[in-house]
Amino acid sequence: MEPDPASPYRFRVPKPNYLPHNVDADEPDEVFNKPLDRPGDFENAHYFSKVKRLAHDIGITKPKGYNVTFHYNPNMERHHFGQTHPMKPWRLTLTKSLVTSYGMNFAMDNYTARTATYEELTNFHTNDYVDFLATVAPQPTPLDVDNMHPDLKFNLGGSDCPLFEGLYDYCSMSAGSSLDAARKICSKQADIAIAWGGGLHHAKKSEASGFCYINDIVLAILQLLRVHPRVLYIDIDVHHGDGVEEAFLSTDRVMTVSFHKYDPNTFFPGTGALDDNGPRSEHNPGSHHALNIPLNDGITDEQYKWLFESVISKCVEKFRPAAIALQCGADSLAGDRLGKFNLLVEGHSSCVEYCKKLGIPMIMFGGGGYTPRNVARAWAYETAVAIGQHKNIPHQIPEHTPWRERFRHETLLPTIEQILGEPRQNRNPQKKLQDIVQHVTEQLRFVSHAPSVQYQVIPPDLGPIRDEVEQRLKEEAELHDDNARKLREEAMGVPMEM
Ligand SMILES: [Zn+2]
């Protein structure tokens, strides 16, 4: 195929599969494939009395001077992509289980996320694509990519993006939690908003990709742009955040920075080289506003932390973001089924800690992560970072934690030896990392912030802030307002109010 000169990338290499042929499983598949039971543990008075006591002992209270909101839809857990597919939405159950067992919910406003509306999904995605997602019949068995049913399109139905039962609901729930988080940031009711069910960074305008169907991050950033002149998107998933980068490629109001494993031939999605920095034309406002940090297997906590802080401090200094969207994909952790870094929870969460210290309103999204117990540990610990309790919580996982046996190790912070036995070979020489920082510094020379000018280029198609959808949601919320306030104070999770 001839390269398309209008394409954001100079050329597109054929995309490697997201799923490698031999998934690096470290335990028998049955353990991964059995969905969690859903006992009434969270409603159990006995359980809650233990949680309350622990929270009291640790001293978990609302943080002083800022507010954290938590957006979660328990119905997401019910879906699964198929028995052998590594994406297990019950990793969200495990995360919530840890967060709640430590009593972290007492430090946050907890919202049961709603589903995103059709209108909201089509703020970014095409109507054709969303219509197709909403109506296509589930395919019990993923199809062979070379032998696709002619009626299937938009990259759907293969092994990476199977058509499972309830797919559209699942996507709307994921997007809904991220949109709720964005709205809380916009209304200044949250300084940090957490949406672990979001973070699906590969989805394109009209194409599913790498387990992602709807790009909730793009939808959330579009919300942020209604009130924030510049948004910094940071992605620490092991895969390149290509969908978000592409969506905002031609604007200087969003800077995207992705840290990822890069290997154009064998590692999904094959994009995100160091010198891919947005459109080549200097006349395009988006040029130099996409930064890519390509890494190799085996990077350590120390290196990652150094690189992250070196790069992000420079980006913040030059770009002056008014809000941060942080994708916390947990497949960059050691022991992931797909990723091959040596990162521990400490290293991964140091990125969250660094961003929090900047004092800029922030959404924390989930993302990849295919060893559920590792995902849950990292996102629970990062929730603790958000509420300022990570130094206080005991590392021993509380005895009353539901599905505690699923964590294999009793600690929230297992060592590399516990996770992998031997660390993976580190293929990231320090010199290479220094060159990356050097390159980023050079790119940032071209970036300037000019708020008065940039405010005028708010994309007109975003619509007025108080549009019909928001009005309807507000009316719905008012119906159970009193009840909701009461529940929220008890930190049990309530429907989002506007
Ligand atoms: Zn990933």
H, E, C per residue of 378-440: HHHHHHHHHCCCCCCCCCECCCCCCCHHHHCCCECCCCHHHHHCCCCCCCCCHHHHHHHHHHH
* Ligand 1 centroid to residue 27 C-alpha, Å: 20
* Ligand 1 centroid to residue 464 C-alpha, Å: 34
* Ligand 1 centroid to residue 488 C-alpha, Å: 32
* Ligand 1 centroid to residue 45 C-alpha, Å: 37
List residues bridging with 209 in a β-sheet. Answer: 212
pLDDT at residue number 315? 97
Note the residue count of the chain: 498
- Written as one string, the DSSP assignment of 153-171 is -TT-SSSSS---TTHHHHH
pLDDT at residue number 449? 65
* Ligand 1 centroid to residue 16 C-alpha, Å: 13
* Ligand 1 centroid to residue 324 C-alpha, Å: 19
Q: What residues contact 55, with CB distance under 8 A and at least 6 apart?
A: 102, 103, 104, 106
Residues 103 and 60: beta-carbon distance below 8 Å: yes
Q: What would the two tokens of residue 20 be?
A: 């490698």
Each residue's pLDDT, cut to its tens digit, for the chain (498 residues) gives 344 444 443 334 456 676 654 444 444 344 444 555 555 555 678 888 999 999 999 999 999 999 999 999 988 887 777 777 777 888 998 999 999 999 999 999 999 999 999 999 999 999 999 999 999 888 866 665 555 566 678 988 888 888 888 899 999 999 999 999 999 999 999 999 999 999 999 999 999 999 899 999 999 999 999 999 999 999 999 999 999 999 999 999 999 999 999 999 999 999 999 999 999 998 999 999 999 999 999 999 999 999 999 999 999 999 999 999 999 999 999 999 889 999 999 999 999 999 999 999 999 999 999 999 999 999 999 999 999 999 999 999 999 998 898 899 999 999 999 999 999 999 999 999 999 999 999 999 999 765 434 444 444 444 444 344 455 555 555 554 555 555 554 555 555 544
* Ligand 1 centroid to residue 63 C-alpha, Å: 31
* Ligand 1 centroid to residue 212 C-alpha, Å: 10
d(CA 305, CA 353): 10
* Ligand 1 centroid to residue 159 C-alpha, Å: 16
Please give the single-letter amino acid code of residue 32. F
Q: What residues contact 88, with CB distance under 8 A and at least 6 apart?
A: 32, 35, 80, 81, 370, 372
pLDDT at residue number 278? 95
d(CA 173, CA 181): 12
Ligand 1 (ion): residues with CB under 5 Å are: 237, 239, 329, 331, 368
- Helices 45-58 & 91-101 angle (0-180, nearest 10): 60
* Ligand 1 centroid to residue 202 C-alpha, Å: 9
* Ligand 1 centroid to residue 364 C-alpha, Å: 15
Q: Does residue 202 carry a catalytic annotation?
A: yes
Q: C-alpha distances in angstroms, 139 versus 153, 156, 158, 491?
A: 13, 10, 9, 39
* Ligand 1 centroid to residue 369 C-alpha, Å: 7
Burial of 202 (0-12, 13-18, 19+ CB in 10 A): buried
d(CA 76, CA 99): 17
d(CA 241, CA 260): 8
Q: Which of 71, 85, 202, 288 is catalytic?
A: 202
pLDDT at residue number 147? 58
Alpha helices for 102-202 (secondary structure H)? 118-121, 127-135, 167-186
d(CA 385, CA 370): 22
Closest CA to 215 of 198, 238, 197: 198
Residues 199 and 217: beta-carbon distance below 8 Å: yes
pLDDT at residue number 168? 94
pLDDT at residue number 165? 85
d(CA 192, CA 362): 5
d(CA 44, CA 53): 14
pLDDT at residue number 86? 77
Please give the single-letter amino acid code of residue 81. F
